[in-house]
Amino acid sequence: MPENIINLRGRQAYIYALEKNWPETLAALRSISPIYEPVWHFDEGRRIGMLESWARLQADENRKELHNRLKLWAREFSGLCI
């Protein structure tokens, strides 16, 4: 899948999990948030958060722990969408 295409199915699953199980879903994300560092782009002195693709995250050796934790989190809540 090209990086610029939004995975609507993945987003739908995420929103569904939040809608039905938001306390548990968000609590589980607490283990991920301390290691997540956004990617920034600087334009004329302004800091702009960049959207990241799953493929780029998977390929980044420096972010393997983040990738693994996100996969575990997704696996834990993926059954909620069926």
- Assigned token pair, 47: 């800091």
* Cα 52 to chain centroid, rounded: 8
* Spatial CA neighbour of 54 closest among 9, 20, 18: 9
Residue from 10, 28, 16 nearest 80 by CA:
16
Taking the C-alpha atoms of residue 66 and residue 4, their distance in angstroms, rounded to an integer, is 21
Q: Which two tokens stand for residue 61?
A: 């050796």
On the question of pLDDT at 5 being above 70, the answer is no
Mean pLDDT of the region 16-26 = 78
**pLDDT of 60 higher than 80:** yes
Please identify which residue in the block is written with the tokens 């069926």. 82
Q: What is the pLDDT of residues 27-55, one digit of tens each?
A: 888 878 888 888 888 988 899 888 888 88
Q: Between 4 and 61, where is the model more confident?
A: 61
Q: For position 6, what pLDDT does the model report?
A: 57
